[in-house]
Structure 1
């Protein structure tokens, strides 16, 4: 008996600890117990109802009906005098028989609050889905980085090894060299490849907005803010990679908050009180000399060393001009009928390419659109390239012997055509035909130029 009483006391303690109103009736409809929350919600005390038939005290009660039909009911609106609440009801079964029924009540304000929270959560999920849908998922791999330059290959190998770690990476290089291409390739080579890759250009977003973009904000955090708050890019990138392009343009004040996230792995939203923990790998990129900016106190020294765990420098196109024909061939892989004449290839190889790969890609697309036939010639190139080349040629002609200029041009033309046709016997026959010389002459020139 003592054990049974202990169990009953234990059960009553559990019921009292529940934050919903609880009422229990036995198999004949007599109220066996209620908790304090039930009294708080309905205004009915234990003295008024316990030990009495529920239907006598509450003539409109539906719980006795549950005893008869054994069917649970949810979200039933009830009102007791001025008290409004919502009730869930269910039968209590024991060995196949209904031995009672239980009623669980929530006050209308509580229901409204929960409904508001549910709507808020649904909106946040919708925001997250939309945001994830806008993410530039990493689609490039190291196979998309074209070129045989020694320095480029060394950078690729170092990037591949680094990708297997969680170390932060700093990518340096001029605009258009392919820093995001490297960042995406590193992400796809890492264990985070199945998680989001989230890029953000720190130079393209005003400093006043960048903080809310990175960390998000709570509802009502500031005037004109979204009433449902905002999910930040750090939160979106959780378990994945956040690519901070042009980090040298980030404000000094925001650098401090970024440093804390990198050190602690946590942050607070604007207007928020709770810390959020994230697991994010940061790949930063810049076309600026960050070390020089540190010395001038325009970039935080502690942040520089935090993001500079691994430093990869991407060479500009002008330092690997031998890769140009290979890049052109890659860009033309879906344009099977289009070729470049040798003179045009020579021009492209001797242009200084201040815009790097991006400028080369745009020049190729422009030339294709300007070409009426299958062969792209000098006149199809953008004016900026033609003018720059003509100016360079005027200078080089006065500085080099004519024979060397002709030999360089011939060697470049042969190499570029072979890059397109291949070096098999069949490819060399095709190259000889394109160049307008015999196959024997082609072999002689290959020997002469050590191709």
Structure 2
């Protein structure tokens, strides 16, 4: 409830004011109002918790020096003055009346002197200190009656002047007008207070420092975060903004002058770096104040990292590391060592490999070994989207950009991958018409959402993957050469499974144990001949195909051991009509081992010179030599016999 103080100019007015305040039209408004009378003007005191003062005349001058709140002035009406003059004529035979006051309608009263058949002299004063001098002057100039306020009347009595002194009394109409003005002002104050409280609650629930400065450059709101950012500078409502934050004056005045928003103005304080926004508040083209947002850049960076972490929790993270890549072949070890080197830099990487070779596994491992490991890992299969959806998926879109657009818009994968890695699988399937848009984003390192105007800076590492010959596609006009150069800064070639046969047994046993646990099945190991059959299979689908075959075996084999017959059945080798590829049988050289342009690596691995070198390196341990060559011991003996090494 607002606290109001009504200062009456003379005590006889107290019951009149109280009666009017109690009228039904003011119900509930002046409940917490006090009515006070101070005989000595300079003794006027206003309580600290007072919200509004009602007073008149010279008292207002004194009150304004001691009270910064709202003041309603009780009007002196023309009829009040006429009534005082009539009372003077009734009580005296005065010839010259002096009217003393600062009332704006005093001069108009002088023109009414002919109506009263008497001489009026108006003495207008500017401040209370002139009252006594003006009273003396009026008497010296022959005034035999004075009409004024209560303070001039007290001066006459105090000095014992022998003149009539009448007080201009307030009519009920004048008092009611003052009360109406006060009621209206109180209503506005309540509304403004509710709005300010709403703003305060909003301000306290934002993580940044927030200050609202009114059009008189006074701080109206400063949330708790401002005190946290500036522990030695706690702004208080009512103080001047420039006084409290002088180092922001230049940009503050610029925003005030130009009525334009200033974004991310950087200041370096003793303890931290801050970013400050200045937003003018304009209502119907009228400047009403300034909203100043202050952000601790260090906390902003921490918050961004937390957001990225939450994005990771939503699935935008890399699951695998280099240690998860099951292998023992030298060729795969070479790929991994090369990839580890790539992880130490931020250059784009292009990964080549047939389907099912584990390109994304390698991409995730590079990400998790890099400095971006705490950032998001975002993957997209470029073949999964038509061009129009691909653009909105990668770049995002604003609300209303197209029919069905999510309210509020959506961040694209580039934005989601900020400070992390974006994996573009099957990059060869990008439409040529879209490749130019992607190239621009990679060059400028910024993205604009579909239907938007704002440009968003991004820091994203690109790892792209393909199972096609992009240089050949360039010749055919299916891939942009400049995009290839942008992607192919570093490159990896993942060997197919048929070129790393040493890894087949390890992978098969890993998958078998995995599915045993997952499906609660029996099979947990292979016979030697079963492994030999798997190692002789060409696996055009690579690791993905091997995994599917082992999953099939895990379900169909009913005991702990997987035999060669089980593998033959799973591979469809018993049905010549469905056998998809040539297979190595005991005593038979599979086509994949023959010297042919299709498999130069394995043609080299079974040459005599290689076998001789491995025998020496392994101390003539034929089992170890066979393991390194990815063949069984029987096959090695047979090959050595043909080479004349036995």
Q: Secondary structure at the match of 1:214?
A: helix
Deviation at 1:255, TM superposition (A): 0.9
Aligned 8 A contact 2:397 2:411 in 1: yes
Q: Secondary structure at the match of 1:194?
A: coil
Is it true that 1:189 corresponds to 2:365 in the alignment? no
| Residues 63-102 of structure 1: pairs in structure 2 closer than 5 A | 74-75=197-198
Cα separation, partners in 2 of 1:397 and 1:374, compared to 1, 3 Å: closer
Cα separation, partners in 2 of 1:185 and 1:381, compared to 1, 3 Å: same
In 1: Cα distance, 2:357 partner to 2:388 partner: 29
In 1: Cα distance, 2:318 partner to 2:511 partner: 20
Give the one of 248, 251, 276 matched to 2:456. Answer: 276
| Residues 112-151 of structure 1: pairs in structure 2 closer than 5 A | 133-151=313-331
Cα separation, partners in 2 of 1:99 and 1:211, compared to 1, 3 Å: closer
Aligned 8 A contact 1:128 1:231 in 2: no
Describe the superposition over 1:161-218 as per-residue Cα deviations: whole angstroms up to 9, x where unpaired. 0111010000000000000000000000000000000000001222221111000011
The structure with more radius of gyration: 2
Residue in structure 1 matched with residue 573 of structure 2 by the alignment:
387
Deviation at 1:73, TM superposition (A): 5.8
Describe the superposition over 1:302-333 as per-residue Cα deviations: whole angstroms up to 9, x where unpaired. 00011000110000001111211122233345
Aligned 8 A contact 1:175 1:287 in 2: yes
Give the one of 374, 383, 407 matched to 1:227. Answer: 407
Residue in structure 2 matched with residue 55 of structure 1 by the alignment:
182
Cα separation, partners in 2 of 1:133 and 1:290, compared to 1, 3 Å: same
Q: Secondary structure at the match of 1:160?
A: helix
Aligned 8 A contact 2:568 2:574 in 1: no
Residue in structure 1 matched with residue 468 of structure 2 by the alignment:
288
Aligned 8 A contact 1:90 1:101 in 2: no
Cα separation, partners in 2 of 1:129 and 1:28, compared to 1, 3 Å: same
Give the one of 326, 335, 357 matched to 2:543. Answer: 357
Is it true that 1:339 corresponds to 2:379 in the alignment? no
Give the one of 495, 502, 520 matched to 1:315. Answer: 495
Q: Secondary structure at the match of 2:498?
A: helix
Residue in structure 2 matched with residue 244 of structure 1 by the alignment:
424
Cα separation, partners in 2 of 1:30 and 1:304, compared to 1, 3 Å: same
Aligned 8 A contact 1:246 1:287 in 2: yes
In 1: Cα distance, 2:538 partner to 2:65 partner: 89
Deviation at 1:237, TM superposition (A): 0.2
Cα separation, partners in 2 of 1:231 and 1:395, compared to 1, 3 Å: closer
Deviation at 1:342, TM superposition (A): 1.9
Describe the superposition over 1:258-295 as per-residue Cα deviations: whole angstroms up to 9, x where unpaired. 11111110121111112110000000000111010111
Unaligned runs of 5+ in 2: 1-63, 73-177, 200-213, 223-235, 241-280, 285-290, 292-306, 518-522, 591-622, 624-633
Residue in structure 2 matched with residue 159 of structure 1 by the alignment:
339
Aligned 8 A contact 1:341 1:375 in 2: yes
Cα separation, partners in 2 of 1:229 and 1:131, compared to 1, 3 Å: farther
Unaligned runs of 5+ in 1: 1-23, 33-51, 77-86, 92-97, 109-113, 115-126, 402-427, 429-441
Q: Which has the higher contact order (CA 8 A, sep 6+)?
A: 1
Residue in structure 2 matched with residue 210 of structure 1 by the alignment:
390
Residue in structure 1 matched with residue 508 of structure 2 by the alignment:
328
| Residues 437-448 of structure 1: pairs in structure 2 closer than 5 A | none
Deviation at 1:61, TM superposition (A): 3.7
Residue in structure 2 matched with residue 27 of structure 1 by the alignment:
67
Q: Secondary structure at the match of 2:319?
A: coil
Aligned 8 A contact 1:29 1:100 in 2: no
Residue in structure 1 matched with residue 444 of structure 2 by the alignment:
264
Is it true that 1:178 corresponds to 2:358 in the alignment? yes
Aligned 8 A contact 1:139 1:184 in 2: yes
Describe the superposition over 1:26-51 as per-residue Cα deviations: whole angstroms up to 9, x where unpaired. 8362369xxxxxxxxxxxxxxxxxxx
Q: Secondary structure at the match of 2:375?
A: coil
Cα separation, partners in 2 of 1:220 and 1:320, compared to 1, 3 Å: same
Deviation at 1:60, TM superposition (A): 1.8
Q: Secondary structure at the match of 2:539?
A: coil
Deviation at 1:387, TM superposition (A): 2.3
Cα separation, partners in 2 of 1:60 and 1:159, compared to 1, 3 Å: same
Deviation at 1:230, TM superposition (A): 1.5
Aligned 8 A contact 1:347 1:389 in 2: no
Aligned 8 A contact 2:308 2:376 in 1: no
Residue in structure 2 matched with residue 18 of structure 1 by the alignment:
none
Aligned 8 A contact 2:378 2:413 in 1: yes
Cα separation, partners in 2 of 1:351 and 1:62, compared to 1, 3 Å: same
Is it true that 1:371 corresponds to 2:551 in the alignment? no
In 1: Cα distance, 2:372 partner to 2:496 partner: 28
| TM value normalised by structure 1 | 0.62
In 2: Cα distance, 1:160 partner to 1:73 partner: 58
| Residues 6-17 of structure 1: pairs in structure 2 closer than 5 A | none
In 1: Cα distance, 2:310 partner to 2:237 partner: 50
Q: Secondary structure at the match of 1:325?
A: helix
| Residues 291-310 of structure 1: pairs in structure 2 closer than 5 A | 291-310=471-490
| TM value normalised by structure 2 | 0.45
In 2: Cα distance, 1:65 partner to 1:320 partner: 77
Describe the superposition over 1:389-430 as per-residue Cα deviations: whole angstroms up to 9, x where unpaired. 9767789789669xxxxxxxxxxxxxxxxxxxxxxxxxx9xx
In 2: Cα distance, 1:388 partner to 1:302 partner: 50
Cα separation, partners in 2 of 1:256 and 1:151, compared to 1, 3 Å: same
Higher deviation after alignment, 275-284 or 136-145: 136-145
In 2: Cα distance, 1:25 partner to 1:360 partner: 91
In 2: Cα distance, 1:395 partner to 1:333 partner: 25
Residue in structure 1 matched with residue 23 of structure 2 by the alignment:
none
